[in-house]
Structure 1
Amino acid sequence: MLLTGILPVLPTPFADAGVDFEAMRRVVRFALRAGVDGVVFPGFASEVETLTVDERAALLELVATEVDGRVPIVAGASAPTVNEVVKYGSQALALGIKRLMIQPPKSIGAGADAVASFLSAVAAQLPGAEIILQNAPAPRGSDLSPQAVLQVVRRVAAVRYVKEETLPAGPAITAILAEAPEHLLGVIGGGGARYILDEYDRGACAAMPALEIADLHVALDRDYRAGRRSEARALYVKSLPLLVLQAVYRMRLTKHVLRLRGVLDNRTVRAPTPDLDPFAMQDIESCFAECGLQSGVLAPERKGIGA
């Protein structure tokens, strides 16, 4: 099964005592009811860098159990060293998850040779894994040029997808797909779906936004693929004010909106993220209302989309 459509990165709910595993179950169920085409965990939006090794493993197992094969899972396996990536990748493979998203560590350098060598070493120890090369922008990521990405993909056959997050992502997607080797199955858009229509027009196979408006993103994706471009654009326009704020407040916005929607009990974050003062919360809530989505737990039929 190819990766296509909406593949949200799941947030990690926290409580005073640590990870809120019951809330994590609600997060996964919310995603499935929204009709997503797959889920990603852990990723940057999961606050992965704040999770302990044990938390990370337990949460991924919970996600696999809740999904129960209904949609593909992409497991984040990024880490500073080959051995750590292999450890996280092995945990995922043991759960039946073969798609591993890896952001090369900046410590190895940002050139194609260094990235290809790193991923080759990982692939050699994880037979059967399908690697998604996460090309994140600086300062967080390697910020590889399309030509460098293509060099890596040609040298590492286990790289089956690229998640392109550099800005502007659109021209990079076009350049990669124009010269992609046969084993590259697709390029996935990033940027929180703020550029999703441009990415799709250029041939991106999927998008990896945050979770809070997954039902809107699914509806947009279905309209686009059915040729209903004006309807897809109308939903895109509805989403943009909220997504502009999401670029600033990140996980805190995601959790605030999911709290409004009845999925989370709080918006506690571990990652360094700007606080939400009353003005920011009012702005977020107004933008969410303009999306035309329901508060409270999402109904299976996604009522209210576009209303």
Structure 2
Amino acid sequence: MNTLDRNAKGVYLITVTPFTDSGALDLASTDRMVDFCLEKGVTGLTVLGIMGEATKLTAEESRTFVRQVLARVNGRVPVVVGASAPGFAPMGELTRAVMDLGAAGVMVAPPPTVRTDDQIVAYFDMVSETVGPQVPWVLQDHPVSTGVQMSPGVILRILKNAPTCVMLKHEDWPGLAKLSAIRAASDKGELQRVSILTGNGGGLFLPEELTRGADGAMTGFAYPEMMVDVVAAHARGERDRAHDLFDAYLPLARYEQQAGVGLAVRKHLFKERGVIASAMVRKPGPKLSAQDLDDIRFLVQRQDKRLRDLG
């Protein structure tokens, strides 16, 4: 089994959850999606994230989907599972289930009920206790979705208290200064180094985040090869090349990050690329208009041209 650790780097793609037109889990498309992501060179996968419509799945559907992904991956890359839950009992239950299936670790975000610094730190102390001493976990910092602001100081307190928290999923925006502060603290030996993967808007700040010390990306985009190639170019020291590649994809990545319709755009593009059979988003969810589809076609054509020009 691939176990998540502090040296994780590369691209852990946040996957969508494929459904049929009727809204049922589409396990055949799930297999194609896994194959597609691995063919594009991702380092790992993350399932049951916010863009994976985790809150729209039943507990049994969540386990079925994770089981299908892990079986298809078959140990080739690590798989991280979102385990955030309203209470610790369902969090612990899901964690035990997915780890038994072969997950590499779990990811947890703070609930909107924690507000003060001490409340946030105490909550994650209980997360460590709940998932257990053998389970590596990821601290998700995504204030836009959680409403919880965690300062660098609070994150450092959490990491110092939690030896099994091996990764920070950095999604604050703007957050470059926060990323720099956390990386500087570990570089100075103030705490044990953790992996930092970024998730801002499909990688909208990925080149800058890599320069600030991020180890890669943990986010979603209908063209995962963008993140794979940008991270690889940056690791080779080809900073200009990384930015050139990123710039070619940026208009479509930006379009995909629109609040409300972004997931529908991503699923539409996955369908167009032959990855999934249906672009179905479970209710409540948006539908794309004819004008939306025209925008997407135009941006894909321009993206293709830019990539050809870049060679």
TM-score normalised over the length of structure 2: 0.90
Distance across 2 between alignment mates of 1:306 and 1:59: 38
State the AA in 2 paired with 1:189: T
CA RMSD, 1 decimal: 2.0
Secondary structure at the residue paired with 1:8?
A: strand
Match of 2:84 in 1: 78
Alignment gaps of 5+ in structure 2: none
Cα deviation digits, residues 1-54 of structure 1 (max 9, x gap): 632111110100111151111111111111011010110011011011111101
Native 8 Å contact 1:256 1:267 kept in 2:
yes
State the AA in 2 paired with 1:185: V
Native 8 Å contact 1:292 1:306 kept in 2:
no
The farther-off stretch of 126-135 and 51-60 is: 126-135
State the AA in 1 paired with 2:247: V
Distance across 2 between alignment mates of 1:148 and 1:105: 15
The answer to whether residue 192 in structure 2 is matched with residue 183 in structure 1 is: yes
The answer to whether residue 65 in structure 2 is matched with residue 55 in structure 1 is: no
Secondary structure at the residue paired with 1:85?
A: helix
Q: Structure 2 matches for 1:1-307, cutoff 5 A?
A: 2-15=7-20, 16=22, 18-107=24-113, 109-125=114-130, 126-180=132-186, 181-191=190-200, 192-248=202-258, 249-270=261-282, 272-292=284-304, 306-307=310-311
State the AA in 2 paired with 1:153: L
Distance across 2 between alignment mates of 1:83 and 1:237: 44
State the AA in 1 paired with 2:156: L
Match of 1:298 in 2: none
Secondary structure at the residue paired with 1:179?
A: helix
Native 8 Å contact 1:112 1:152 kept in 2:
no
TM-score normalised over the length of structure 1: 0.91
The farther-off stretch of 248-257 and 114-123 is: 114-123
The aligned length equals: 297
Identical aligned residues as a percent: 26
Distance across 2 between alignment mates of 1:25 and 1:227: 35
State the AA in 2 paired with 1:20: D
- In structure 2, relative to structure 1, the CA distance for the partners of 1:141 and 1:86 (3 Å cut) is farther
Distance across 2 between alignment mates of 1:305 and 1:216: 15
Alignment gaps of 5+ in structure 1: 294-302
- In structure 2, relative to structure 1, the CA distance for the partners of 1:211 and 1:233 (3 Å cut) is same
Native 8 Å contact 1:28 1:63 kept in 2:
yes
Distance across 2 between alignment mates of 1:219 and 1:304: 15
Native 8 Å contact 1:75 1:92 kept in 2:
yes
